[in-house]
Each structure stands twice: as structure tokens, then as C-alpha cells.
């Protein structure tokens, strides 16, 4: 069990353990910012709540304008079912279209699947696909890593020293991320899940502020929306007020563990889902019914799309109804 614990703790994907608990203070600060900025953001983008229909497909819209109308963007439904796999490549057997679990949405690592047919295979099975990439950290092992300018790198991340915080205000970083969004579009992704938008909560070495994050998320969401892809807000609970109109869903890690799920319920009120991940002790082999039940019965998450995962975000998943699944993958 020691080995398993060590392996899980080194995972590059679950980053909440070292974050500073600044949600409450942040909410107060940001309410002020919202007054200053919210109006401008709201005027530029009206892709806000209300349209929670899950099947408004954007693909065949003939709109000529460069910015899509809100109706042409995919707005996933509150409580939609999903699976997230970030450290492996899905293996979809076209002869056996049964996919496990048979959920509506798959959130997968973009680069790992870039030169595969997985996105179109999932579409053929009637699934929607959210493509994950890190927007706020430098990862040395990505195909475009050489494009980053050293002057845009801050501190290594506390728990993942091979990843480095990025200056999200840098035009060069933004150009690289715009190219990543184009890759997602080329792959046919329905949405993007840009990670590490909350550098301001961490010792980032670049004096990143929540205002910069708001501006950056605005940039990313507008780029994605212009390509008819939806965008999510990863964690970053204290800037929800500012960016809620710009994004179509939340991806949250461990709001139960950090007792902040109520912060994310504003997504639900806006008709937008919260794709919610908890990492139970001992997952996958030693999750007790009791610990699952405790996570799943936490206040305020009844309408969240909750999954129980290992911190490596591999193919194992458990749902609050007790269903357990292992998605077929090619590696691992
Ligand atoms: C996919 O193929 C393109 C074109 O050959 C290449 O530039 C890119 O790096 C590849 N992506 C991955 C993740 O291997
Ligand atoms: C890298 O950053 C430095 C300092 O900001 C700048 O002078 C240089 O032009 C940048 N290089 C590239 C390739 O963007
Ligand atoms: C981050 O980039 C912006 C825009 O280029 C620049 O003004 C700022 O000084 C940079 N921050 C750091 C810490 O280098
Ligand atoms: C959410 O969806 C699940 C099925 O995936 C269903 O069992 C549950 O009742 C739904 N919850 C709410 C609050 O709609
Ligand atoms: C993904 O994580 C699991 C641990 O849960 C590990 O067994 C597997 O080797 C990992 N796969 C890759 C490709 O890193």
C-alpha cells in the first residue's frame, strides 16, 4: 500500500492539496471586481445560463458570423453523466460499440488523443468530448513545449516540480494556448477543459493576480467559443462571479474535502453542470461503501455530476449510485 500511496501522491493532475484556502476572502474581494468588470464581460458575451438543453449540436450551424450565437454552443445539462481520464488513451473497439461506462460525456487529455480517432469514435457512439490541456503550467513533455519562452516561466508547482507556473498575461503564452485551442477544434472536441487557471492561489513566482486569471479565462473562452467549442472553469471558486457568463460548465476537484461545494452551486443555478471529482482514500481497491456514501451525501452536491476517481485520473471510476467502471484504454 505504501507504493500505491506514493504513486498517487506524485500524480500531476490533482493539485488541490497544497492550495491556499482563500475562497472566502476571494469571494469578498472579487465581488468588488465583479462590479468593475462584470458589466464589460457581460456585454461582450451572452453565452450565459438558461439554455441547459444537452443536445444543441453546434456542428451543423450555418451561421456566417465569426462569433457563434449562444444557441450554437454546446451547453451540457446540469447533472449530465461523465467520465474523466487524463493519464491514459481510450481504446474504443469499433466492432463492440459498448463503452464503459455508458455516460454522456468524456473528458480526456487532448494531446494524448491528438493523433487518434478517439474523438470521432466517441461521437459515433453519441458521446460528447471535452478536451483537457494545461493552460496555466509549462509541462516539458508536450509536443509544443519548446515554444515557451523561458522568461514566461515562474516557480515549479509545489507538488509537481516538473511543471512550472506560466505568465498567463504573456502574449507568447496566449499564442501557444490559442494554437492548442485550434488543435482541440481540429480534433472535433466539443469543449475545452483548460487546467491551472488558479495560479493566483499558489506560490507561482510571477505575482499572478485573480484579475489576470479573469482576463485569461475570458481570452480562452472567447477563443474556444469562436470555434464553436464550450469552455469550462477548473476550480478557481473565488472568480466564479466574474466568469460564470463566459463558461459553460465547472470542473471541480474536491469541493467536499474542502467544504466549498456551495461556492460552485452558482453554476447549477445558472443551468450549467458542475463536473465534480473527489479522490476517496484507498481508491480504487479500498474505497469503502461508507467513504463513498459520505462523499456522495455531502450537502449541496445533489445536482453535481460527481465521480470518485484515483488521483492519477486513470480509467477507474465510481459513481454515487455505486456503479464502478473501468474504461478500456490502450496503455495501463
Ligand atoms: C500529432 O501529429 C502532428 C503532425 O505530425 C504532430 O505535429 C504532433 O506533435 C502529434 N501530436 C502528438 C501528441 O504526438
Ligand atoms: C522572450 O522574452 C523576451 C523577454 O520578454 C523577449 O525579449 C523575447 O522577444 C521573447 N522571445 C520570444 C521568442 O517570444
Ligand atoms: C508577464 O507578462 C506581462 C505581459 O507581457 C508583463 O507585463 C509582466 O511583466 C510579466 N510578468 C512577469 C512576472 O514577468
Ligand atoms: C442525476 O442523474 C442521476 C443519473 O445519472 C439520477 O439518478 C439522479 O437522480 C439525478 N439527480 C438529480 C438531482 O437530478
Ligand atoms: C495511470 O495511472 C495508473 C495508476 O492509477 C497507473 O497504473 C498507470 O500506469 C498510469 N498510466 C500511464 C500511462 O501513466
Domain residue spans in the chain? 68-331
Cα 62 to ligand 4 centroid, rounded to whole Å: 34
Closest-CA residue, ligand 5 atom 9, reads 332
Question: Is the CB of 50 within 6 Å of ligand 1?
Answer: no
If you take atom 8 of ligand 1, which residue's CA is the nearest one? Answer: 143
Residue 75 has pLDDT above 50, yes or no: yes
**Which residues form the pocket of ligand 4, taking CB atoms under 6 Å from any ligand atom?**
79, 81, 302-303
**Does the beta carbon of 133 lie inside 6 Å of ligand 1?**
no
CA 98 / ligand 4 centre spacing (Å): 22
User: Would you say residue 43 has pLDDT above 70?
Assistant: no
295-327 pLDDT, tens digit each? 999 999 999 999 999 999 999 999 999 999 999
Q: In this prediction, what percent of the chain has a pLDDT beyond 70?
A: 78
pLDDT at 51 over 90: no
pLDDT, residue 90, reads 97
The one-character DSSP state at 12 is: S
Atom 9 of ligand 2: nearest residue by CA position: 149
Q: Residue 115 CA: which ligand 1 atom is closest?
A: 1
Reference 59, options 75, 73, 77, 46; nearest CA is 73
pLDDT value at residue 5: 37
Q: In this structure, are strands 164-166 and 324-326 parallel, antiparallel, or unpaired?
A: unpaired
Quick one: pLDDT band at residue 67, thresholds 50, 70, 90? low
The answer to whether the predicted template modeling score (pTM) of the entire model surpasses 0.75 is yes
Q: What is the pLDDT of residue 204?
A: 98
Confidence band, pLDDT 50/70/90 cuts, at residue 210: very high
Q: How far is the CA of 141 from the centre of ligand 2 (A)?
A: 21
Neighbours of 292 (CB within 10 A): 20
Residue 71 clears pLDDT 90, i.e. is over it: no
Residues with CB under 6 A from ligand 5: 87-88, 310, 312, 314, 331-332
Residue 26: what pLDDT?
Answer: 44
pLDDT band at 223 (very low <50, low <70, confident <90, very high): very high
Each residue of 163-184: pLDDT tens digit? 999 999 999 999 999 999 999 9
Binning pLDDT at 50, 70 and 90, where does residue 93 land? confident
Interval 141-162 mean pLDDT? 95
Here the cell at position 298 is 455531502
Please check whether the domain covering 68-331 is classified as CATH 3.20.20.60: no
Q: Residue 153 CA: which ligand is closest? A: 3
pLDDT (mean) for 86-115: 92
Burial zone of 272 (CB within 10 Å; 0-12 exposed, 13-18 middle, 19+ buried): buried
pLDDT band with cut points at 50, 70 and 90 for residue 193? very high
Q: Is 105 helix (H, G, I), strand (E, B) or coil?
A: strand
| Beta bridge mates, 230 | 191
Nearest residue (by CA) to ligand 4, atom 12, is 303
Confidence of residue 50 (pLDDT cuts 50, 70, 90): very low
Residue 331: predicted pLDDT: 82
Dist. CA 133–CA 174, nearest whole Å: 13
Regarding the beta carbon of 111 and ligand 1, being less than 6 Å apart is answered yes
Establish whether residue 172 lines the binding site of ligand 2, counting it when its CB lies within 6 angstroms of any ligand atom: yes
Mean residue pLDDT across the chain? 84
Alpha helices per DSSP H over the chain: 2-9, 23-44, 118-124, 171-187, 210-226, 240-243, 261-269, 289-296
Q: Residue 185: what pLDDT?
A: 98
Q: DSSP readout, 265-321? A: HHHHHTT--EEEEE--TTTTTT--HHHHHHHHT-TT-TTSEEEE--TT--SEEE-TT
pLDDT beyond 60 at 73: yes
Which ligand is the nearest neighbour of the Cα of 268?
4
Residue 110: DSSP 8-state? T
Residues lining ligand 3, judged by CB closer than 6 Å?
167, 169-170, 206-207
Q: Torsion-angle region of residue 58: left (phi > 0), alpha (psi -120 to 50) or beta?
A: alpha
Confidence category of residue 70, pLDDT binned at 50, 70, 90: low
Query: What percent of the chain has pLDDT above 90?
Result: 70
Q: Which ligand is nearest to the CA of 165?
A: 3
b/e per residue 61-97 (b: at least 16 CB within 10 A): eeeeeeebebebbbbbbbebbbbbbbbbbbebeeeee
Average pLDDT estimate for 188-213: 97
For residues 46-52, average pLDDT: 33
In this prediction, residues 279-297 reach a mean pLDDT of 88
Amino acid at each position: 500500500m505504501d507504493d500505491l500511496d506514493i504513486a498517487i501522491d506524485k500524480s500531476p493532475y490533482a493539485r488541490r492539496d497544497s492550495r491556499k484556502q482563500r475562497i472566502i476572502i476571494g469571494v469578498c474581494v472579487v465581488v468588488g471586481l465583479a462590479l468593475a468588470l462584470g458589466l464589460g464581460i457581460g456585454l461582450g458575451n451572452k453565452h450565459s445560463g438558461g439554455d441547459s438543453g444537452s443536445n444543441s449540436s453546434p456542428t451543423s450551424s450555418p451561421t456566417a458570423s465569426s462569433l457563434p450565437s449562444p444557441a450554437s454552443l454546446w451547453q451540457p445539462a446540469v447533472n449530465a453523466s461523465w467520465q474523466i481520464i487524463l493519464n491514459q488513451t481510450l481504446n474504443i473497439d469499433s466492432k463492440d460499440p459498448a463503452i464503459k461506462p455508458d455516460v454522456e460525456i468524456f473528458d480526456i487529455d487532448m494531446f494524448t488523443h491528438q493523433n487518434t480517432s478517439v474523438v470521432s469514435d466517441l461521437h459515433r457512439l453519441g458521446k460528447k468530448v471535452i478536451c483537457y490541456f494545461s493552460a496555466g503550467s509549462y509541462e516539458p513533455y508536450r509536443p509544443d513545449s519548446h515554444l515557451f519562452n523561458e522568461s514566461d516561466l515562474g516557480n515549479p508547482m509545489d507538488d509537481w516540480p516538473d511543471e512550472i507556473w506560466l505568465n498567463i498575461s504573456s502574449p507568447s503564452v496566449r499564442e501557444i494556448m490559442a494554437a492548442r485551442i485550434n488543435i482541440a477544434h481540429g480534433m472535433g472536441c466539443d469543449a475545452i477543459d483548460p487546467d491551472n487557471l488558479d495560479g493566483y492561489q499558489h506560490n507561482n513566482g510571477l505575482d499572478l493576480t485573480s484579475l489576470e486569471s479573469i482576463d485569461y479565462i475570458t481570452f480562452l473562452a472567447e477563443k474556444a467559443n469562436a470555434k464553436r467549442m464550450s469552455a469550462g472553469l477548473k476550480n478557481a471558486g473565488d472568480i466564479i462571479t466574474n466568469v460564470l457568463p463566459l463558461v459553460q460548465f465547472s470542473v471541480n476537484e474536491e469541493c467536499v474535502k474542502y467544504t466549498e461545494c456551495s461556492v460552485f452551486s452558482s453554476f447549477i443555478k445558472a443551468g450549467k453542470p458542475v463536473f465534480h471529482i473527489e479522490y476517496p482514500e484507498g481508491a480504487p481497491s479500498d474505497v469503502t461503501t461508507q467513504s463513498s456514501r459520505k462523499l456522495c451525501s455531502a450537502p449541496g452536491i445533489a445536482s453535481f455530476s460527481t465521480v470518485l476517481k484515483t488521483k492519477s485520473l486513470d480509467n477507474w471510476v465510481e459513481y454515487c449510485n455505486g456503479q464502478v467502471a473501468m474504461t478500456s484504454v490502450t496503455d495501463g
